[in-house]
């Protein structure tokens, strides 16, 4: 299916299912879909812990479950599947090129380098950090690389690594959002995990300046989104708030059992306090609160709730009253984990919608564009690579 066609079909499906992925069970105790589809809500609420955890992590399995109630959702996994890029074998550079790179990051960089294709053009490495990707590409492709990065400490460290490895790589210490002389016609721009407005600036600024090729693995799409995501490619039907845009990148693939327990406790305590606040203030609407200092979770629930109550200007309740709210927090945490499976089925489809917006924009500027996976999800869930050539 052509990218524009896929975009049109996915856009229509996401628009028509907005009521499933937009409501956050953390805020809305029972999202509206649960009264329209009580059997679905009952099936989810009856899941045991293991099944709930598994469905929260496996979007495709969650889509299959949802499709029993909303048959049109059966299309979602197909629309969200992208092929793997064909990896070209890398030349052996020994371990020296990879000084200082954590193992997982090194594997991501190598996978990116194996999936992108050289074009015998000068390379611009966008939002480069210490320029590890640029350094590998300079070696691999035997081309000159300019690595653009805002942080002078990272630029200096990168320059030292480049000198040590004797590679043709220089650094431009600059702000990607405001720089005016970074793009040149006939460049090959690469970006590994440049966040939100940083990858969008590369695409709009670079295509306007005549950059010949792009290889971009985007991440953190919500960065730089004020209230509502502004599509680049067309007037689309689906509207994403900043929070919806964030949903596209909320899954983790590496949480240890200890971190999972900590996450559950923090959620249960916040929900316990939310229940308390709703009752004490007789205001049943969800009110967001400022981020909670991690140290507040180190004591017990009574201490936590007292600190929160003081901060939110509520009369501090008695210890007797508080005990019940901790229990109710855990009860709501259990429910939130299960009801959230519905929106979690849409994480990857929302990401694909965002990536299609970037890719279709590039097509409109005259590029031939491909989207594929440059590595498996276990290495990084932000594993989509947009490759465009003029
Ligand atoms: C997620 S890191 C990716 C780094 C590198 N591409 C990699 O994959 O290892 C994003 C990088 O963007 C840089 N950055 C953030 N804002 C920037 C800006 N306005 N201009 C240039 N670089 C920026 C950060 O300092 C950081 O090094």
Angstrom distance (rounded) from CA 193 to CA 355: 13
Taking the CB of residue 245, how many other CB atoms lie within 10 A of it?
Answer: 22
In the beta sheet, which residues pair with residue 21? none
Residue showing tokens 């594997």: 107
Q: Look at ligand 1, atom 8, and give the residue with the nearest C-alpha.
A: 192
**According to the model, what pLDDT value does residue 91 have?**
86
| Pairing label, strands 123-126, 145-149 | parallel
Of 124, 127, 374, best ligand 1 pocket probe by most atoms within 8 Å of the beta carbon: 127
Distance, CA 128 to ligand 1 centroid (Å)? 6
Token pair 């969800």: residue? 286
User: How confident is the model over 4-18, as a mean pLDDT?
Assistant: 97
Give dist(CA 337, CA 52) in Å, integer.
7
Cβ-contact 176, 194 below 8 angstroms: yes
CA–CA separation, 252 and 202 (whole Å): 26
Q: What are phi and psi of 251, to 5 degrees?
A: -75, 150
Alpha carbons 78 and 96: distance in angstroms, whole number:
42
Contact at 8 Å (CB) between 52 and 337? yes
Q: Smallest Cα–Cα separation from 344: which of 114, 1, 31, 6?
A: 31
- Return the half-sphere exposure (C-beta side, CA atoms, 13 A cut-off) of residue 364: 13
> How far is the C-alpha of 327 from the C-alpha of 56, rounded, in Å?
23
Chain CA centroid to CA 109, Å: 18
| pLDDT tens-place string over residues 64-95 | 999 999 999 999 999 999 999 999 988 887 77
pLDDT of residue 342: 97
Task: Give the closest residue (by CA) to ligand 1 atom 12.
Answer: 127
CA-to-CA distance for 362 and 356, rounded, in angstroms?
Answer: 10
CA distances from 126 to 10, 96, 381 (A): 29, 23, 20
Ligand 1 centroid to Cα of residue 147, in Å, is 10
Q: What is the pTM of this model?
A: 0.94
Q: How confident is the model at residue 254 (pLDDT cuts 50, 70, 90)?
A: low
CA pair distance 19, 37, nearest whole angstrom: 12
Is residue 220 lining ligand 1, measured as CB closer than 6 Å?
A: no
* Residues constituting the chain: 390
**In contact, 52 and 338? CB cutoff 8 Å:** yes
Mean pLDDT of the chain: 94
Banded model confidence at residue 36, pLDDT cuts 50, 70, 90: very high
- Which segment, 85-89, 99-103, 189-193, 286-290, is predicted with the most confidence on average? 189-193
| C-alpha of residue 8 to centroid of ligand 1, in Å | 32
105, 29, 40, 15: which is closest to 341 by C-alpha? 40
Residue nearest to atom 9 of ligand 1 (CA): 129
**Residue 320 confidence class, pLDDT cut points 50, 70, 90:** confident
First to last CA, the chain: 21
β-pair partners for 170: 146
Q: Closest ligand 1 atom to the C-alpha of 194? A: 10
Q: What strands, in cross-sheet order, belong to the sheet with 368-373?
A: 169-173, 145-149, 123-126, 188-195, 213-219, 384-389, 368-373
Spatial separation of the C-alpha atoms in residues 156 and 264, rounded to whole Å: 41
Q: Give 316's pLDDT tier (boundaries 50, 70, 90).
A: confident
| 216 C-alpha to ligand 1 centroid (Å) | 13
In 3-state terms, what secondary structure has residue 379?
A: coil
């Amino acid at each position: 299916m052509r990218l524009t066609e896929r975009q049109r079909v996915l856009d229509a499906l996401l628009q028509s299912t907005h009521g499933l992925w937009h409501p956050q069970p953390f805020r809305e105790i029972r999202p509206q879909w649960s009264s329209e589809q009580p059997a679905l809500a009952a099936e989810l609420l009856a899941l045991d812990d293991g099944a709930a955890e598994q469905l929260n992590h496996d979007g495709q399995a969650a889509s299959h479950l949802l499709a029993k109630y909303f048959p049109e959702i059966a299309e979602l996994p197909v629309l969200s599947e992208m092929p793997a890029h064909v990896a070209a074998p890398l030349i052996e550079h020994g371990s020296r090129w990879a000084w200082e790179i954590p193992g997982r990051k090194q594997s991501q960089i190598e996978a990116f380098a194996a999936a992108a294709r050289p074009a015998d053009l000068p390379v611009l490495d966008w939002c480069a950090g210490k320029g590890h990707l640029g350094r590998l590409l300079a070696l691999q492709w035997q081309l000159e690389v300019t690595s653009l990065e805002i942080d002078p400490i990272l630029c200096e460290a990168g320059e030292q690594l480049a000198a040590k490895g004797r590679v043709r790589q220089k650094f431009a210490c600059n702000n990607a959002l405001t720089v005016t002389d970074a793009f040149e016609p006939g460049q090959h721009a690469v970006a590994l995990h440049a966040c939100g407005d940083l990858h969008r600036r590369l695409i709009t600024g670079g295509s306007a300046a005549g950059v010949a090729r792009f290889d971009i693995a985007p991440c953190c799409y919500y960065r730089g989104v004020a209230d509502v995501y502004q599509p680049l490619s067309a007037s689309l039907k689906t509207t994403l708030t900043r929070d919806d845009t964030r949903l596209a990148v909320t899954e983790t693939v590496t949480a240890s059992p200890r971190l999972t327990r900590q996450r559950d406790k923090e959620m249960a305590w916040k929900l316990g306090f939310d229940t308390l606040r709703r009752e004490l203030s007789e205001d049943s609407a969800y009110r967001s609160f400022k981020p909670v200092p991690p140290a507040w979770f180190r004591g017990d629930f009574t201490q936590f709730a007292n600190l929160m109550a003081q901060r939110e200007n509520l009369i501090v309740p008695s210890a007797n009253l508080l005990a019940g709210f901790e229990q109710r927090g855990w009860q709501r945490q259990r429910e939130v984990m299960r009801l959230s499976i519905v929106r979690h089925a849409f994480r990857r489809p929302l990401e694909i919608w965002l990536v299609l917006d970037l890719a279709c924009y590039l097509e409109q500027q005259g590029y031939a564009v491909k989207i594929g996976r440059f590595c498996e999800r276990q290495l990084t869930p932000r594993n989509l690579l947009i490759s465009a050539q003029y």
